[in-house]
């Protein structure tokens, strides 16, 4: 048999076992890392039959102690969750711990990395240090939906470990109406700005909704410009009596926009009909 570094560098280790052997219980490698192990037959004359060799098997050798990392986003009941949906502009706290054999690892460094939803790029955003009990806390910066990775690089006695949490951030838009009271037949201009960045190059899809007959109903679909600004004019034509209409903007989820479904504040317009 032969054991070589998976990377192909360094020397290989070879060994021989007598015929009839069904296992190797004293296999050893020169050091930590990944190794490739392969066996083949040798006949009584010493001829190797490598054409009948086994497929290579990858072995990973690491004599360091396994490490467990656990992390989660703080939720309302005081516990933690692996995923959470938060309001726009909020800064949740992530709590975690690093331990080996149930003992917290004190004073070790934990790297914090972030990947925005829909992106393949991961960037390092912070480095933490565990407290005497092996715990850590991280106050998340404002921003889009993302995955946060917490990584301990390991040490002479302990293996590396990692964990991750997912954050879905609700989208948000401002909303204002040019007039709060109008007569039937008059026009109101609604306008606002999508607050979350980055805004897609083609603009952000929006749905204008009004609440009437017991539910929210979409009466216009539009897109903002590249800067997130939008406006829409609406003329009231079918109102009788005096009616107060609540309005809001719904921001649907899109693949090109890294935020969860969100809504604006509600504004009200009073319309006096004939």
Alpha-carbon 159 to chain mean position = 24
Position 50 scores a pLDDT of 64
Q: What are the Cα distances from residue 3, in Å, to 9, 41, 257?
A: 12, 15, 49
Burial pattern 188-227, b for ≥16 Cβ within 10 A else e, equals bebebbbbbeebbeebbbbbbbbeeeeeeeeeeeeebeee
Q: Are strands 93-100 and 68-74 parallel, antiparallel or unpaired?
A: antiparallel
Give the least confident one: 15-24, 83-92, 115-124, 238-247: 15-24
Alpha-carbon 37 to chain mean position = 37
Between 219 and 77, residue with greater pLDDT: 219
| Partners of 199 in beta bridges | none
Domains 68-169 and 176-272 belong to one CATH topology: yes
H or E element that contains 52: none
Position 144 scores a pLDDT of 98
Structure tokens at 264: 């604006």
Position 173 scores a pLDDT of 98
In degrees, to the nearest 5, what angle opens at C-alpha 200 toward C-alphas 197 and 205?
100
Position 49 scores a pLDDT of 65
Q: Which fold has domain 176-272?
A: Immunoglobulin-like (2.60.40)
Tell me if 135 sits within 8 A of 104, measured CB to CB: yes
All structural domains of the chain with their residue ranges? 2-61, 68-169, 176-272
SS3 187: strand
Position 19 scores a pLDDT of 66
Position 15 scores a pLDDT of 83
SS3 143: coil
CATH superfamily of 68-169: SoxY domain (2.60.40.2470)
Between 262 and 44, residue with greater pLDDT: 262
Position 20 scores a pLDDT of 65
User: Is the confidence at residue 198, as pLDDT, over 90?
Assistant: yes
For the stretch 16-51, pLDDT in tens is 877 666 777 777 777 778 888 888 887 777 777 666
Q: 239, exposed or middle or buried, with CB in 10 Å at 0-12, 13-18, 19+?
A: middle
Tell me phi and psi for residue 234, to 5 degrees.
-135, 135
For the stretch 94-153, pLDDT in tens is 999 999 998 999 999 999 999 999 999 999 999 999 999 999 999 999 999 999 999 999
Question: How far is residue 102's CA from residue 133's CA, in Å, rounded to a whole number?
Answer: 11
In degrees, to the nearest 5, what angle opens at C-alpha 89 toward C-alphas 197 and 136?
110
Position 54 scores a pLDDT of 83
For the stretch 48-82, pLDDT in tens is 766 667 888 888 888 889 999 999 999 988 899 99
**pTM (2 d.p.):** 0.79
């Amino acid at each position: 048999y032969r054991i070589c570094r998976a990377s192909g560098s360094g020397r290989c280790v070879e060994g021989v076992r007598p015929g009839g052997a069904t296992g190797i219980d004293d296999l050893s490698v020169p050091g930590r890392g990944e190794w490739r192990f392969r066996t083949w037959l040798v006949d009584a004359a010493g001829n190797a039959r490598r054409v009948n060799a086994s497929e290579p098997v990858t072995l990973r050798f690491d004599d360091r102690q396994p490490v467990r990392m656990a992390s989660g986003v703080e939720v309302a009941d005081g516990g933690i969750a692996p995923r959470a949906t938060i309001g726009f502009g909020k800064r949740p706290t992530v709590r975690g711990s690093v331990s080996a054999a149930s003992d917290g690892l004190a004073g070790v460094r934990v790297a914090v990395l972030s990947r925005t939803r829909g992106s393949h790029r991961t960037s390092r955003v912070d480095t933490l240090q565990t407290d005497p009990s092996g715990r850590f806390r991280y106050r998340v910066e404002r921003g889009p939906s993302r995955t946060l990775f917490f990584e301990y690089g390991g040490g002479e006695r302990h293996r590396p470990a990692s964990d991750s949490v997912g954050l879905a951030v609700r989208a948000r838009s401002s909303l204002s109406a040019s007039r709060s009271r109008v007569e039937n037949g008059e026009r109101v201009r609604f306008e606002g700005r999508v607050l979350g960045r980055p805004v897609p190059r083609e603009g952000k899809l929006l749905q204008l909704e009004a609440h009437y007959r017991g539910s929210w109903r979409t009466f216009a679909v539009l897109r903002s410009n590249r800067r997130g600004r939008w406006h829409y004019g609406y003329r009231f034509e079918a109102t009788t009596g005096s009616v107060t209409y609540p309005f809001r903007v719904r921001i649907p989820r899109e693949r090109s926009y890294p935020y969860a479904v969100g809504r604006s504040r509600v504004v009200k317009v009073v319309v006096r009909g004939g």
